[in-house]
Amino acid sequence: MNTSEIAGRYAVLANDTCCLSCGGAAGKSEARPDEVCIDLGSGRGTDVLRLAEEVGPKGFVYGIDITDEMIRKASTTAAKMGVENVKFVQSDLEQIMLDSDIADLVISNCTLNHVSNKPKVWAEIYRLLKNGGRFVISDIYSSDPVPEEYALDPVAVAECWAGSVTKAQYLEIIHSAGFKDFRILEESAPYPKGKIEVSSFTITARKDEYSCC
């Protein structure tokens, strides 16, 4: 998926009031004081600002997004609110411009389905987490493999459904990235989205570099 097509769609939504989300990652993440957190696909920055309050002045939250307008909108809001323990970084999730082993918590809401190289994003999540750190990710999965005519259509992918993979594929990608014991915190019944049927879910796991295979 071409990231400039994604950024083009989200540029016009940066200052809109419509909802961008599909799950409850931030609400389920239980961020604690002093933690370092990263939100992947941070959009207008709502979840970053919420986490910033939870981690307090000695904690820090990074928001990562590909869309220039989203970064600008989120940074402006944080500045207006006087929030100093946040930074919004414009970056593709397949190659995130942050150092390794820095995060206690990685969250994401309704974003990873957009990304074409999902194993690469999950390798990045593993790289960014400290040992013992956790992710809490909300996303969708498709009931059946998405037909190629939609999966290769950039507009359909940007509409948050055609880039989805099945639950079995999703869990296999997470497992291959190095996360062994994951838990599903919430999961919806299948519902129609675009031309397919999807479910929303929120999933969590810890990075444990020393767990045996």
Ligand X SMILES: C[S@@+](CC[C@H](N)C(=O)[O-])C[C@H]1O[C@@H](n2cnc3c(N)ncnc32)[C@H](O)[C@@H]1O
Give the binding site for ligand X (CB under 6 A).
3, 6-7, 10, 20-21, 41-43, 46, 65-67, 70, 92-93, 109-111, 114-115, 160
Least CB distance to ligand X at residue 26 (A): 8
Conformation bin of residue 131: beta by default, left when phi > 0, alpha when psi is -120 to 50: beta
Q: Measure the CA–CA gap between 198 and 77, rounded to whole angstroms.
A: 33
Least CB distance to ligand X at residue 60 (A): 18
* Token pair listed for 173: 């990608």
Least CB distance to ligand X at residue 183 (A): 21
Q: Measure the CA–CA gap between 39 and 94, rounded to whole angstroms.
A: 14
Least CB distance to ligand X at residue 106 (A): 12
Nearest to ligand X of 13, 208 (CB atom): 13
Nearest to ligand X of 17, 213 (CB atom): 17
Least CB distance to ligand X at residue 211 (A): 29
Nearest to ligand X of 33, 155 (CB atom): 155
Nearest to ligand X of 65, 153 (CB atom): 65
Measure the CA dihedral 96/2/11/29, to 10°.
Answer: -40
Q: Measure the CA–CA gap between 94 and 34, rounded to whole angstroms.
A: 27
Contact 108, 29 (CB under 8 A): no
Nearest to ligand X of 3, 199 (CB atom): 3
